């Protein structure tokens, strides 16, 4: 496996960071019954991060939204 094949592992420095943020800001209502983050919860969390001028968290949430699209036919 080439080094370039694992680029996403290098991008995500703190896995679970967005989950902790959503849990802190919205509680359990931000998650589905399976434990994944709801799409509308990501939008709301991004709005809160932007309001609080938390640029790093806003970028992490944007990455999480993009990674949802990589999931293929799962929706």
Global model pTM greater than 0.85: no
Q: What is the pLDDT of residue 15?
A: 85
Run means of pLDDT, 10 residues per run, the chain, 75 residues: 66 87 95 93 96 93 88 61
Residue given tokens 């809160």 in the structure block: 48
User: b/e map of 31-56 (b: 16 or more CB within 10 Å)?
Assistant: beeeeebeeebbebbbebbeeeeeee
Q: Give the Cα separation of 73 and 2 in Å (integer).
A: 27
Q: Give the Cα separation of 72 and 37 in Å (integer).
A: 17
Q: What is the pLDDT of residue 70?
A: 81
Q: Which of the 8 DSSP states describes residue 19? A: H
Q: What 3-state DSSP class applies to 70?
A: coil
Q: What is the pLDDT of residue 72?
A: 64
Q: Give the Cα separation of 53 and 35 in Å (integer).
A: 27
């Amino acid at each position: 496996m080439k080094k370039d094949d694992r680029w996403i592992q290098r991008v995500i420095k703190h896995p679970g960071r967005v989950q902790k943020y959503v849990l802190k800001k919205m509680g359990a209502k931000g998650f589905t019954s399976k434990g994944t983050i709801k799409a509308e919860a990501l939008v709301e969390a991004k709005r809160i991060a932007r309001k609080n001028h938390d640029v790093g968290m806003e970028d992490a949430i944007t990455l999480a939204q993009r990674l949802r699209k990589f999931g293929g036919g799962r929706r």
